[in-house]
Chains A and B, each alone.
Chain A
Amino acid sequence: MGIALNEGLSQISLIFIYAAMAIYTAAFLTFANHLSRLASEKKKVQGVATKIERIAIILMILGAVLHAVGVVLRGIAASRVPWANMYEFSITGSLVVVTIFLFALTIKDIRLIATFVSGFALLILGSATSIFYVEVKSLMPALQSYWLVIHVVVAILATAFFNIAAALSIAYLLKTAKWIEKSKLKLMATVKRILDLFPSIEKIERLAYRFNIIGFILWSFTLIAGAIWAERAWHRYWGWDTKEVWTFIIWTIYAGYLHANATRGWTGKRSAWLGLIGFLAVLFNFTVVNLFFKGLHVYSGLN
């Protein structure tokens, strides 16, 4: 009767996650170093930059491989998909973000947000291992459904796309920020030089828009798949459960973002802020709603 959980394997998985974090840290520092070199006024320092960038990318790929091994081992240890609680959702989700980013690297313009992305992955893994960590547990009967695969995979993908779009929006807002432009601080001068390296604001804006479009379509699907599952598991397709409400709020914010772009001609800063608000809601939905609100989506596994 029942399944076998492998405690030892989940410990090994954790070691891989820690190792991935260490390598991501190195990648993050190298990317940051690369940016600061590019921003340097000295030609000689700039020359080394491409080599350093290559090292940073290799580090990030290595980190992603370790990260992937950690995720897969966790799945094997629990003998099910590795996204049934917040810890697992975090490690799987951040792996997806990193993977999408590594594939998107073929678009050269996106390279400059590497520092953001590696830093973000590190932050997520850090909070996952320190705050959200739980031992491997079997699936509660409510989660035993193939919808766990469909609904959650699409949600993770949507989050990953929103995440990259949000990084682009931050870059956009920094690049257009007047206070950085006007500042006389030396530090700000460096920041300005780094920002000058980024693609043009038009390009950043368009990229952010496209990542948000894909995110929105995936998010809509998450919402629909969730409703179908809820009809099976909770005897109604929609019940204004806290998580349902927040998922809908996020959908509305991004719908508003797309609408404002398409018909109101809301572009530039206002649009970037709207996209960021959407992503803040995504983060809020994942953290505060999961941990502190009562409702049916109580899957963090934390008390």
Chain B
Amino acid sequence: MVFPQRSADPNGVTQYFDTNPQLAPVLDAMQLFDVYTSVWFSAIYILLFISLIGCVVPRTGVHYRALITPPPAAPKLFSRMPASLSVKFTKNSTIPERAEAVLRKQGYRVIRNGKTVSAERGYVRETGNLVFHFSLIGVLIAVGIGGGLSFSGQRVLVEGETFVNNLASYDSFSPGTFFNESMLVPFSMSLDKFEVDFDLRNQTNVGTPLDFRAYTSSKLTPTSPATSGLIRVNEPLEMPGANIYLTGNGYAPHITIRDAKGNVVFAGANVFLPQSTTYTSLGVIKVPDAERQFGIISFFYPTVETLTTGALTSIYPAPIDPLLTMNVYEGDLGLDSGVPTNVYALDTSKMKQVAGGKSAVKGLRLTLGETVDLPNGLGTVTFDDIRRFASLDVSYNPGGVWVLLFALLSLAGVTTSLLVPRRRVWVRQTTEGFEVAALARGDDPILEKVVREVAEELKAKDKK
């Protein structure tokens, strides 16, 4: 069973609530829609953390003792070892000394005891293993502390607008547990221009976005000189204590509304949310300052096309043949009660539709620069200009660098512990020659080869 997660698929969760109204609250109480921030998930995380420490600390002690203990004495029967070789060889009187020299040269730790030599190598295998586990603990700590100190805020900026980095400027903001507002560096940033390249050249690819560019200018203090910058997807703007990312974009048609007397009652660029890849966009305009309050639900088509059904659609995301359509509602906008409302939605429950839909007046249609009359003597509306907006994400996580550092360290550790073989080699002088044996601790692909080579080298050295 798979449940949609709020973090990856918020609409899926809403839908789940709609289709399973009884089950969903129960699942929600078990935090199954927010698994990764749930209490039980944190519990697993902490248990993992404790068991890691419980595993690594004693092992460090064991490894330390192994490091100061000389290689173990040779076994009685070499033939019992996984790899061994018995060599007949007459000139064997100096075998122990030579074996010591040969093995030492190959990086073994060697102990000579009479006629036998014990050697061990690959201690770094266990060292790597411990580094790996300690680094995982490091990753967990860095994730925890970094997450606590981090923040992430969202802000939509229309071309020409400026944003100042303080809590009040954000449309939404999610701080970590240890965050406080004094951590925000009060720089300001303006969106000077936003550019998009859409493919108009390759047939199968028409309308596909190729590049998004947000040109910015920023100031560290109100009096300091402005620095220009560029934000692209994959290329955030780095400001002190914050990185600014480009996460979305769309159109913000600039509209002016005048009442019947010609006084301006509304003027501004309204953010329209894109509804499709061809940027058919939906926006809401609320006009509370008019004599009689009214609101507009508007669609923007960058390159308009009429379907055979009569419905409108946009066939290309750039404004080649732009059109605005408007449905007008008269009545209480619900703004006077002081309760915050969604700027992207119009609550029409206390309003009456006066243009478009089933009302007597047809929906309004405006091309760029056009002015048309509003119904019921509400005045006129002008489509002045097309601007673009950028959705920006401002976030900061001081733990990121540490997570990366520990992750790389753990990768180095685990690679060492998996690829460096740890083995013991013994050589013993016998009456007819000598014996070599080896024992791998863990996986060792070349154990037999090692034994053969040691034996050959011992023989070869003697010939000289």
A residues adjacent to B (C-beta < 8 A): 1-5, 7, 135-138, 140-142, 144-145, 147, 206, 209-210, 213, 216-217, 220-221, 224, 227-228, 231-242, 258, 261-262, 293-296
Residues of A within 8 A of B9 (CB): 294-295
Across the interface, do B234 and A141 meet the contact criterion of CB distance under 8 Å? yes
Across the interface, do B411 and A235 meet the contact criterion of CB distance under 8 Å? no
Give 18 A-B pairs besides A239-B7, A294-B4 with Cβ atoms closer than 8 angstroms.
A1-B197, A1-B210, A3-B210, A5-B205, A7-B203, A138-B210, A140-B208, A142-B234, A147-B234, A220-B411, A232-B234, A235-B243, A236-B397, A240-B7, A240-B35, A242-B5, A258-B418, A261-B443
* Chain B: CB-nearest residue to A229: B234
Cβ proximity bits B29-72 to A, threshold 8 Å, 1 near / 0 not: 00000011000000000000000000000000000000000000
Across the interface, do A4 and B418 meet the contact criterion of CB distance under 8 Å? no
Cβ proximity bits B380-424 to A, threshold 8 Å, 1 near / 0 not: 000000000000010101001001100110110011001100000
Across the interface, do A227 and B404 meet the contact criterion of CB distance under 8 Å? yes
Residues of B within 8 A of A4 (CB): 201-202
Inter-chain CA distance A150–B345, complex, in Å, is: 43
B12 at the interface (CB under 8 A from A): yes
B373 at the interface (CB under 8 A from A): no
Cβ proximity bits B1-36 to A, threshold 8 Å, 1 near / 0 not: 010110111001000000000000000000000011
Number of A-B residue pairs, CB cutoff 8 Å, is 117
User: Contacts A206-B445, A233-B233 given: A213-B418 contact, CB under 8 Å?
Assistant: yes
B170 at the interface (CB under 8 A from A): no
Cβ proximity bits B186-213 to A, threshold 8 Å, 1 near / 0 not: 0000000000010111111100111110
Pick from A141, A210, A237: contact of B211, CB under 8 Å? A141
Cβ proximity bits B125-169 to A, threshold 8 Å, 1 near / 0 not: 000000000000000000100000000100000000000000000
Residues of A within 8 A of B357 (CB): none
Across the interface, do B414 and A220 meet the contact criterion of CB distance under 8 Å? yes
Inter-chain CA distance A137–B203, complex, in Å, is: 10
Across the interface, do A2 and B201 meet the contact criterion of CB distance under 8 Å? yes
B235 at the interface (CB under 8 A from A): yes
Most chain B C-beta atoms within 10 Å of own C-beta, residue among A7, A213, A237, A262 = A237
Inter-chain CA distance A210–B234, complex, in Å, is: 36
B247 at the interface (CB under 8 A from A): yes
Residues of B within 8 A of A141 (CB): 209-212, 232-234
Across the interface, do B209 and A140 meet the contact criterion of CB distance under 8 Å? yes
Residues of A within 8 A of B403 (CB): 227, 237
B240 at the interface (CB under 8 A from A): no
Leading 5 A-B pairs by shortest Cβ distance: A141-B233, A5-B202, A235-B245, A294-B9, A240-B36
Most chain A C-beta atoms within 10 Å of own C-beta, residue among B4, B9, B204 = B204
Residues of B within 8 A of A136 (CB): 204-205
8 A-B contacts (beta carbon < 8 Å) = A2-B200, A138-B202, A138-B208, A140-B208, A206-B445, A224-B408, A236-B152, A236-B397
Across the interface, do B443 and A210 meet the contact criterion of CB distance under 8 Å? yes
Pick from B2, B210, B395, B414: contact of A236, CB under 8 Å? B395
Across the interface, do B411 and A217 meet the contact criterion of CB distance under 8 Å? yes
User: Contacts A228-B404, A235-B243, A241-B8 given: A2-B418 contact, CB under 8 Å?
Assistant: no
Residues of B within 8 A of A262 (CB): 442
Pick from B201, B407, B445: contact of A210, CB under 8 Å? B445
Pick from B212, B397, B407, B418: contact of A216, CB under 8 Å? B418
Most chain B C-beta atoms within 10 Å of own C-beta, residue among A2, A232, A295 = A2
B433 at the interface (CB under 8 A from A): no
* Chain B: CB-nearest residue to A147: B234
Across the interface, do B418 and A217 meet the contact criterion of CB distance under 8 Å? yes
B379 at the interface (CB under 8 A from A): no
Cβ proximity bits B434-454 to A, threshold 8 Å, 1 near / 0 not: 000000001101000000000
CB distance from B194 to the nearest CB of A (A): 13
Residues of B within 8 A of A241 (CB): 7-8
Residues of B within 8 A of A145 (CB): 234
Inter-chain CA distance A140–B189, complex, in Å, is: 26
B236 at the interface (CB under 8 A from A): yes
User: Contacts A2-B210, A213-B418 given: A294-B8 contact, CB under 8 Å?
Assistant: yes
Across the interface, do B205 and A138 meet the contact criterion of CB distance under 8 Å? yes
Residues of B within 8 A of A7 (CB): 202-204
Cβ proximity bits B59-91 to A, threshold 8 Å, 1 near / 0 not: 000000000000000000000000000000000
Inter-chain CA distance A293–B204, complex, in Å, is: 26
Pick from B4, B35, B210, B443: contact of A206, CB under 8 Å? B443
Across the interface, do A242 and B8 meet the contact criterion of CB distance under 8 Å? yes
Inter-chain CA distance A221–B408, complex, in Å, is: 8
CB distance from A145 to the nearest CB of B (A): 4
* Chain B: CB-nearest residue to A136: B204
Inter-chain CA distance A238–B37, complex, in Å, is: 13
Inter-chain CA distance A206–B152, complex, in Å, is: 47
Inter-chain CA distance A147–B235, complex, in Å, is: 12
* Chain A: CB-nearest residue to B210: A2
Across the interface, do B8 and A232 meet the contact criterion of CB distance under 8 Å? no
Pick from B5, B203, B204, B415: contact of A240, CB under 8 Å? B5
CB distance from A83 to the nearest CB of B (A): 17
CB distance from A105 to the nearest CB of B (A): 18
User: Contacts A136-B204, A213-B419, A237-B403 given: A232-B442 contact, CB under 8 Å?
Assistant: no
User: Contacts A1-B210, A224-B411, A227-B404 given: A144-B234 contact, CB under 8 Å?
Assistant: yes
Across the interface, do B415 and A217 meet the contact criterion of CB distance under 8 Å? yes
Inter-chain CA distance A231–B152, complex, in Å, is: 12
Inter-chain CA distance A145–B404, complex, in Å, is: 19
Inter-chain CA distance A217–B416, complex, in Å, is: 10
Across the interface, do A138 and B8 meet the contact criterion of CB distance under 8 Å? no
Residues of A within 8 A of B236 (CB): 232, 235
CB distance from B223 to the nearest CB of A (A): 30
User: Contacts A145-B234, A217-B414, A262-B442 given: A237-B7 contact, CB under 8 Å?
Assistant: no
Residues of A within 8 A of B200 (CB): 2
Inter-chain CA distance A238–B152, complex, in Å, is: 13
CB distance from B131 to the nearest CB of A (A): 14
Inter-chain CA distance A145–B211, complex, in Å, is: 12
